Amino acid sequence: MNNDVVITCAVTGSGDTAKLHPGLPITPEQIAESALEAAAAGAAVIHVHVRDPSTGAPSRDPALFREVVERIRESNEAVVLNLTAGMGGDLIVGEDDPAIPGEGTDFIAPLERLAHVESLLPEICTLDCGTMNFGDDRYVMINPPPHLRLMAERIKALGVKPELEIFDTGHFWFTQQLVSEGLLAERPMYQFCHGIAWGMPADVGILKNMVDQLPAGSFWTSFAISRLQMPWVAQSVLLGGHVRVGLEDNLYLERGRLASNAELVEKAARLIGELGASLASPARARELIGLAPRS
């Protein structure tokens, strides 16, 4: 069991959820405000996506990332910021002609996906470590190994910590290869992502199998989506890991009641406390993850 738990809050994500939750943070101001509320509730790390303020659609506009980061830092210098680098790997397979990408495709050069990371140099950015059918439609998340190697190499050169996003067991296998090739700095950081069709199911045996193979000194977190978000908080802590909650992964506090990010963090914090563990502060989170202290 882990007795010193880092909570990450994934504030808004990139899914088509704006129409499902009227309070989902959309604008940079809303995303920053919700992030600050989550930090006040006990989140040590904030995972940031941005959205088009006028439509709510996912975006990778560096200017939007900059505004969110600046707004958060105006009020909170301590919380750890983790920016997504997952945007730009999306293929919608054409319905009539699969050789022609469908509407909504956003597939760009790997280093272009790091434009906002290059300019803002966050402490952490994500690295989606494989390709998969993402959901039950024609959306495929594409991350070829050569692209991932380029991104990992550049992230390391920038001095940013990659959070390795593991959506399926083959993704974890590939991270072991990245470690062996020296493309990751010391103390790799893993995020095990469960319950997204058609990646890894929310099966504790699968999680434990991967955790048992982690390189020595690794920092790891896991989450499961929707109604399994809170049970997975307990599961992760009991296996010795850290936790992630937030509206990116789950919209409800309980059946029929939409949540805020702060409410989800508060509920996770209560559960962690009831298990006998403590919440890590941002400063302690930096020690555990292997980040430099914030001056």
Q: For residue 190, give both structure tokens.
A: 């893993």
> Helix, strand, or coil here: 42?
coil
How far apart CA 59 and CA 30 sit, in angstroms, is: 15
Q: For residue 139, give both structure tokens.
A: 């959306």
Residue 193, beta-bridge partner list: 223
- Model confidence at 294, pLDDT cuts 50, 70, 90, reads confident
Answer CATH for 4-289 from 3.30.460.10, 3.40.50.720, 3.20.20.70, 3.30.2350.10: 3.20.20.70
Q: For residue 61, give both structure tokens.
A: 């506009």
Q: pLDDT for 183-229, tens place per residue?
A: 998 899 999 999 999 999 999 999 999 999 999 889 999 999 999 99
Q: pLDDT for 66-120, tens place per residue?
A: 999 999 999 999 999 999 999 999 999 999 999 899 999 999 999 999 999 999 9
Alpha helices in the chain (DSSP H): 28-41, 62-75, 115-120, 145-158, 169-180, 204-211, 229-238, 261-274, 282-289
With a threshold of 0.95, does the pTM exceed it?
yes
DSSP character at residue 133: E
| Residues 6 or more apart whose Cβ sits within 8 Å of residue 131 | 140, 141, 142, 143, 144
**What are the sequence ranges of the domains in the chain?**
4-289
